[in-house]
């Protein structure tokens, strides 16, 4: 295997163009499976639900919010680390960001799209989704801008727009590099996408500024998006949801599950796209440290949440707390604690952080735990409200479980298409970490090798 | 002689920057450095660059903020829905819409500023060497007279250009 210091500028172009144009049968088989699962598990059950009505889902009184919304929060959360982390690391000039940020940002984009689909599924009558948009109409429809649901519409639209623009703008020089090396329809596509980029000093200067401004604008935006999602819950008066800590709780949880998602994606890219010499142990080590810090903050917030509920001494709060810790859903709660608070402590060991397979397993476990967290927030809180006559147990129906599986397949499909269109490792930024043809080692190489 | 361009191709950024500096020192004003990566130290050689992007971002954000608040407050006034004697235009929730719209228009204006100031997208042929997207660093200098062209070629060669080509006006090599 080549070492990082042996890579030349031309190798980067070759490797990344190869990842775009050389496609083996394994890729097509994986894509076909992902597409089939998406159709069979997402679209069929959804059409079934549209045909028979929302009753096909297990949501009913008292739990009218179920796994669809849990999935929505989960996907929004997963979207959080990509662009946010990329922006923060760009502003702090972190060299290790450069090999991995493109695919992390793609993860953001696609999980946002899947999240938007989950809303469509949840609302039951998606053909009225435009009613959520503020436009002048004769129906006396009143877009209630005091409602967190309207904040959501604005925040997610902005985040989706911002993330798409951010990933596209950072890719323009790479589209130009790929444009020169491709033929046929690909060439035409990259000619359009690269906008006529040449790489002059003026263009680089403008790109640098615009990219930095976008990063500065997107950081507070990303924080606001998940705070707003948390207010969908925290602004209700349901016991265990009506808490001020919800905004930071959701933001930390989102970045946590997103970072775990990046680890999973990096593992897959490294292994199946042959990016071993670009995505190295250094990346896993750094992501591992980040995960450890996030897991500690997440654990702290969970402890605070339980303590606040207990200390309130309010009977409804106490009951919902008891129900969460020891009730019907308690196994899920303790599974979440195990996966998200206890298991990540392994990351203290550097040996663990730099081992690829254990990191993959842990990252998937964290995301299972984080999905459980979202399910517990949405499902269990409504099961135990103030009056015992409105208590009930919610169990997701087959349609809901199938749509969850289908949404994962949909994400995979989008990502598989992405790796063949976008250079999934940034060509020019990886070159920046290499010594220029007439220079010695870069600082990054001296620090890491 | 009509205006033509001398294009020197270099193997590394240091030599290219040195050549650009020398050309600048000799009075060549219209210089372009075409490189596969953003070069550090361009500003010391070719002078400080200013871009209008920050103005776009600033005014876009302001416009977005005003627009966002107007949207929320305007909707509330148009579709009146009094709740318990509370004000129709309520600041805390409307500020969130303002905040989101500030960022949205800030982002869109930044993109517009980038496209305008980097003069993209382009619909006509311009001087370009595909090698400069891989590992070559090109210095492109516009010359008005034959003597200038000779002098520029000389400087580029002295600085270590691997290849110097003349490019006729219109961009084709």
B96-146 pLDDT per residue, tens: 999 999 999 999 999 999 999 988 898 888 888 888 888 889 999 888 888
- pTM for this structure? 0.91
Domain match, B109 and B128 both = no
Rounded to an integer, the average pLDDT of A132-148 is 78
Domain match, B37 and B85 both = no
* Residue A91 in this model has a pLDDT that exceeds 50: yes
B34: which chain A residues are within 8 Å (Cβ-Cβ)?
198-201
* Residue A80 in this model has a pLDDT that exceeds 70: yes
* Structural domain ending residue among the three candidates B117, B137, B153: B117
What is the predicted pLDDT for the residue at A129? 84
Structural domain including B81 reads 53-117
Classify residue B172: in a domain, yes or no: no
Domain match, B100 and B66 both = yes
Domain match, B28 and B57 both = no
Classify residue B173: in a domain, yes or no: no
What is the predicted pLDDT for the residue at A336? 96
Domain match, B104 and B137 both = no
Classify residue B58: in a domain, yes or no: yes
Distance CA A63, CA A237 (A): 15
* CB contact A145 to B (< 8 Å): yes
Q: Tell me the pLDDT tens digit for each residue of A154-170.
A: 999 999 999 999 999 99
Kindly indicate the confidence band of residue A364, based on its pLDDT and cuts at 50, 70 and 90.
Answer: very high
Identify which of B57, B93, B128 has the shortest CB distance to residue A198.
B128
Domain match, B69 and B111 both = yes
Domain match, B64 and B78 both = yes
* CB contact A127 to B (< 8 Å): no
Classify residue B37: in a domain, yes or no: yes
Classify residue B20: in a domain, yes or no: yes
B135: which chain A residues are within 8 Å (Cβ-Cβ)?
8-10, 13, 437
Distance CA A122, CA B48 (A): 54
Rounded to an integer, the average pLDDT of A55-79 is 89
Kindly indicate the confidence band of residue B172, based on its pLDDT and cuts at 50, 70 and 90.
Answer: very low
Domain match, B14 and B60 both = no
Burial class from Cβ neighbours inside 10 Å (0-12, 13-18, 19+) for residue A42 reads buried
Domain match, B128 and B93 both = no
Burial class from Cβ neighbours inside 10 Å (0-12, 13-18, 19+) for residue A225 reads buried
Domain match, B34 and B75 both = no
Domain match, B71 and B27 both = no
Do A376 and A240 contact (CB within 8 A), yes or no?
no
Quote the percentage of chain A above a pLDDT of 70: 96
ipTM of the shown complex? 0.92
Higher pLDDT, B37 or A3: B37
Domain count within chain B: 2
Q: Tell me the pLDDT tens digit for each residue of A174-187.
A: 999 999 889 999 99
What is the predicted pLDDT for the residue at A30? 95
Lowest mean pLDDT among A19-33, A215-229, B24-38: B24-38
Classify residue B134: in a domain, yes or no: yes
Burial class from Cβ neighbours inside 10 Å (0-12, 13-18, 19+) for residue B41 reads exposed
Classify residue B82: in a domain, yes or no: yes
Identify which of B32, B37, B61 has the shortest CB distance to residue A200.
B32
Distance CA A148, CA A69 (A): 14
* Residue A446 in this model has a pLDDT that exceeds 80: no
Classify residue B88: in a domain, yes or no: yes
């Amino acid at each position: 295997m080549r070492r990082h210091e042996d890579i030349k500028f031309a190798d980067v172009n070759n490797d990344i163009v190869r990842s775009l144009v050389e496609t083996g049968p394994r890729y097509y088989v994986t894509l076909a499976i992902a597409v089939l699962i998406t159709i069979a598990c997402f679209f069929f059950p959804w059409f079934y639900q549209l045909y028979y009505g929302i009753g096909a889902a297990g949501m009913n009184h008292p739990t009218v919010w179920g796994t669809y919304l849990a999935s929505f929060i989960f996907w929004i959360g997963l979207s959080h680390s990509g662009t946010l982390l990329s922006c923060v690391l760009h502003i702090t000039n972190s060299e290790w960001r450069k090999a991995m940020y493109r695919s992390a940002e793609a993860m953001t984009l696609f999980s946002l799209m899947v999240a938007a689909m989950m809303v469509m599924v949840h609302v039951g009558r998606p053909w009225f989704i435009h009613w959520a948009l503020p436009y002048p109409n004769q129906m006396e429809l009143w877009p209630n801008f005091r409602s967190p649901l309207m904040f959501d519409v604005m925040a997610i639209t902005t985040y989706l727009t911002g993330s798409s623009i951010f990933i596209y703008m950072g890719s323009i020089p790479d589209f130009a590099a790929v444009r020169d090396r491709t033929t046929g329809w690909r060439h035409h596509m990259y000619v359009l996408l690269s906008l006529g980029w040449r790489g002059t000093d003026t263009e680089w200067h403008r790109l640098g500024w615009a990219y930095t401004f976008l990063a500065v604008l997107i950081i507070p935006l990303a924080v606001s998006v998940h705070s707003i999602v948390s207010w969908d819950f925290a602004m209700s008066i349901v016991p265990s949801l009506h808490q001020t800590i919800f905004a930071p709780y959701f933001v930390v949880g989102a970045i946590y599950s997103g970072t775990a998602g990046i680890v999973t994606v990096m593992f897959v890219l490294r292994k199946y796209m042959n990016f071993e010499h670009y995505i190295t142990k250094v990346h896993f080590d750094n992501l591992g440290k980040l995960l450890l810090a996030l897991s500690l903050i997440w654990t702290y917030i969970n402890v605070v949440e339980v303590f606040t509920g207990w200390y309130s001494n309010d009977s409804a709060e106490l009951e919902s707390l008891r129900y969460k810790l020891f009730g019907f859903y308690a196994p899920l709660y303790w599974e979440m604690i195990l996966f998200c608070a206890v298991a990540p402590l392994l990351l203290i060991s550097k040996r663990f952080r730099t081992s690829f397979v254990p990191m993959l397993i842990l990252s998937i476990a964290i995301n299972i735990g984080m999905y459980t967290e979202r399910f517990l927030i949405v499902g269990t809180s409504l099961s135990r409200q103030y009056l015992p006559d409105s208590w009930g147990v919610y169990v997701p129906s087959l349609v809901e479980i199938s749509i969850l599986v289908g949404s994962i397949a949909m994400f995979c499909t989008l990502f598989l298409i992405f790796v063949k269109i976008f250079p999934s490792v940034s060509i020019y930024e990886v070159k920046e970490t290499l010594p220029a043809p007439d220079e010695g080692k870069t600082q990054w190489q001296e620090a890491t090798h | 002689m009509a205006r033509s361009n001398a294009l020197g191709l270099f193997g590394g950024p240091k030599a290219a920057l040195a050549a650009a500096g020398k050309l600048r020192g000799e009075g060549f004003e219209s210089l372009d450095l075409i490189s596969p990566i953003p070069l550090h130290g361009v500003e010391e050689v070719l002078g400080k660059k200013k871009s209008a992007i920050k103005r776009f971002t600033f005014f876009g954000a302001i416009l977005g903020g005003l627009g966002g608040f107007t949207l929320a407050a305007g909707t509330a006034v148009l579709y009146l829905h009094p709740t318990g004697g509370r004000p129709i235009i309520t600041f805390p929730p409307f500020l969130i819409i303002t905040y989101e719209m500030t960022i949205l228009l800030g982002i869109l204006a930044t993109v517009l500023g980038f496209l305008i100031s980097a003069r993209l997208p382009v619909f006509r042929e311009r001087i370009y060497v595909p090698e400069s997207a891989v590992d070559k660093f090109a210095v492109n200098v516009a010359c008005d007279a034959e003597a200038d062209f000779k002098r520029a070629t000389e400087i580029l060669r002295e600085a270590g250009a691997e290849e110097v080509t003349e490019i006729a006006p219109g961009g084709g090599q």
